[in-house]
Structure 1
Amino acid sequence: MSDLAADGFQASPFFKELHDGLADNKIKQKAIAGVKAVIVITLKNKEGKDQSWILDLKNDGTVKKIDGSLPKSDVQLLLKDVDFVKLANGKANGQKLFMNGKLKVKGNMMKATAIESVFKQIDPRPKL
């Protein structure tokens, strides 16, 4: 799924992992049941460019890159590319990023917290 990649964004491979993880029907159903939301993630890279992806964890369990205007969503997360990568790798805590002003949330705050559990479920790295 190369259409998930965005030049200059370190998070691109993570969206592919998310996509591949959601291809597993069991994970997809669990993610939809746990989150029940459409989430837009907007990242800003080092060059100051913005790119958004949409995670539909309400209806069909898909991840898509957004080109153009943002669709309607339950929640939007706005953060830097590098901070998202840390969050996705479990090296940063969403609440801490939020408290430090590095993560902005528009919409349903509770839905925003639910997404961290999805990242943990899909994480392809070995659990020690």
Structure 2
Amino acid sequence: MSKVAAEGFDSSEFLTLLEAGLSDDATRKKAISGVKAVIVFTLKNKDGKDQSWALDLKKEGTISKVEGTAPKSDVQLILKDADFVKLAEGKANGQKLFMNGKLKVKGNLMKATAIESVFKAVDPRPKL
């Protein structure tokens, strides 16, 4: 099991892909230069359990599961696990989720918008 996978979270599969994608030097450098921020995702699964992940696209180009309190970040995204999966797959629009109150953003909103390009860059699935 991946270090970023969390039991009971459908997003674990995507976060594992993200972790693998960031292990590629070129992808990692591109992601860091495009975002330049630490982003924390706090997701709530269907059982009501919260879990956070820290995506460091400022220096390291890594993602890690957060145990305990979330670290200092430039932006924190708070949403349901299912909505995160839709966002990561490109089936949901971040702005619409935000406007409908399904996505809460704490911190730099502009940094939050940059994350969609990273999702697209590291997604190994075929583009249709």
Q: Same fold (TM over 0.5)?
A: yes
Name the residue aligned to 2:56. Answer: 56
Matched, 1:27 2:27: yes
Written as runs of structure 1 = structure 2, the 5 A alignment for 1:4-43 is 4-43=4-43
Partner Cα separation in structure 2 for residue 30 and residue 107 of structure 1: 22
Name the residue aligned to 2:45. Answer: 45
Partner Cα separation in structure 1 for residue 125 and residue 7 of structure 2: 24
Partner Cα separation in structure 1 for residue 23 and residue 51 of structure 2: 23
Q: Give how far 1:123 is off.
A: 1.1
Partner Cα separation in structure 2 for residue 107 and residue 56 of structure 1: 15
TM-score by length of 2: 0.98
Paired residues in the alignment total 128
Partner Cα separation in structure 2 for residue 46 and residue 52 of structure 1: 15
TM-score by length of 1: 0.98
| Matched position secondary structure for 2:3 | helix
Partner Cα separation in structure 1 for residue 127 and residue 76 of structure 2: 29
Structure 2 unaligned spans of 5+: none
RMSD: 0.8
What are the Cα deviations for residues 1-24 of structure 1, in whole angstroms up to 9, with x where unaligned? 622111110001111100100011
2:18 maps to amino acid: L
Name the residue aligned to 1:85. Answer: 85
2:71 maps to amino acid: P
Name the residue aligned to 1:72. Answer: 72
Matched-pair identity in %? 73
| Matched position secondary structure for 2:55 | strand
Matched, 1:114 2:90: no
